[in-house]
Structure formats: structure tokens, C-alpha cells
Structure 1
Amino acid sequence: MPKTETATFAAGCFWGVEEAFAHLQGVLSTTVGYTGGKIKSPTYRQVCSDTTGHAEAVEIKFDPTIVSYEKILDIFWSIHDPTTLNRQGPNYGSQYRSAIFFHNKQQQKAALLSKEKAQTKYGKPIVTQIIPATAFYPAEEYHQHYLQKKGSKSCGV
């Protein structure tokens, strides 16, 4: 049985974020959902109302003996613009914010170091939150692996 760790990220529309990680060697599973807000078990409609405080996020289960958390962080930084507050492409609202939800002190340290490294590539300040992981609520089934089901590669991320 593989060793399993969890990584959780928000980087805009969760469909595209999930697609970026779903086929990475060492990733065991991806789940899109909501986290970082103030209500339990929110629905997509509630999150899109921009009143729950939740972000669209992806929870990634991975085997750290195959893919490192640092490699996953590198991909996170490469798939979105971390300098735009509450917006990615045409999508705007706090649910589309950039955030790393760390699950332990090692992830926190790695996230902070990777943010520092990523900042050298941007002319504007990175606004990505690096905060402790809280309850993660899986999104409705029709959102899971949405782009794969639709035969699409991106949703603008």
C-alpha cells in the first residue's frame, strides 16, 4: 500500500486545477470541493454567491515516494496567476482566490519557501494565502473530474 499525503490548493476554477494534477505520476486521487469558509457542507450555488467564504479547491492525495510536495507546489504556481486577488481569467470572486492550505508544519515551510521562489518570477506581489487546512467539503458529483468527463482540457485556468 502506498504512503499517502494530502495537499489542498485553490487557484481559480477547480475543474482546471484538478485537471492539472489528475494525471501526474504519484497522484493517487483528486477531489474538487470547498474549503476555507464559514458554513458547513456548502453547495456550489452557495459558494458562487460569494457569501460563504469558501474557495473552490482541489484535495490531492499523493504518494510522496513518487512525487514530492515541492514538485506539486511547482505545478501549483505554474497553472495560475498568483498576483491577482480573487480572480483567475474570466472568473472573479473570493471563491477563485489563490491559496495553499497546508496540512502540517513541513508543508507550511515548503509553501513559504516556494512562494518566495515564485515571487522572483512576477513583477507584482503574490497574493496567495498560505493557511492551515480546515474542513474540506467535496463538491457535487457532477463537478468531479468535470473536464475529463467533458473531454476538455481547460476552463480558462
Structure 2
Amino acid sequence: MTTKEDYIRQFQLTPHPEGGWYQQIYHSEDKYFDLESGGQRYRYTSIYFLLDSTSPSHFHRLNHDELWYFHAGQGITIHCISPNGHYQAVKLGQNIQSGERLQFKVPKETIFASEVSDSNSFGFVSCMVAPGFDYRDFELLSKEKLLARYPQHRSVIDRLAVDDTNQ
């Protein structure tokens, strides 16, 4: 059986600032000036991304769409809060009979976090961003900031947002 450590070693994954482990695997050959970002960006970027029950992806926001593709392990739940405050939880995984999806698009400006719910498990996915990911287009959101705006989602924010002292 392939373990979390096998994936981390084989794909040379390193800790991601939002949580989990990642490695950029592709980006377009060229860059262009993206008006929304106000700077040069690759046309797309793609990463491998691994989460386990001890390291979720904390709430953050991108100014571009992100596509998620499930590969292996246990299902991953993506928790989304749209700009108007609507909450949606989407489960990526191979159990399509129970409603899991193999891929999902997180729309730009959506605040989102993801986690593996089962203890001692992991999920392995790819994520693709177009225009390409750049940390200047990324915002890690604090628990305090999120609760002030979306108090109705306290239970998931308390669990998956970073503490203010961690920023």
C-alpha cells in the first residue's frame, strides 16, 4: 500500500504555506501581462498537492479560478465561501456513488479551505490555476477576519482558518 510518505518522497513535495505539501509540476512556456493581477503571469500552473488529517489547507482566496483533480487516497472536502457568503462543501474522491467528484472548479474570489476528514489518512490531488498561480494573487485569511464577515460559518472557520497570531 502506498503511504503518504511515499508520495511526499516520490514527488519531492514540500510544505505549502497554506497547509499540506506540494510541488509545482507544470507551467506554460510563456508569460503575459494579466490585467486582473497587474503583472506578468504564466498562462497556467499546475501542482501536486497532498493533505492529511494533521495538515489541512487553511482558508485562503485567489483572484483566479483553481481546478482540482483527485488522484489517490481518501476523499478531500473543499469548503467554499462565495463572495456573497454562500457556503458549499464539495467532496473530491473516487466514491462517485456517494456524490464524490473527480474534479472541481473553485471560482476566483471564493474563500476556500480543504481537509481530509478521516484520521490517519491522506488525499492526493492536482491543482491547476489559470492565469498561473503567483503568491501576489494569494491571500491567507485569518480566523478573526473571517468571523467578522461570516459569523454564520463559525464551526468550519474555527477549524480551518489560521489564528491571527500565525500571520
TM-score when normalising by structure 2:
0.24
Greater fraction of residues in strand: 2
**Which structure has the bigger radius of gyration?**
2
TM-score when normalising by structure 1:
0.25
Greater fraction of residues in helix: 1
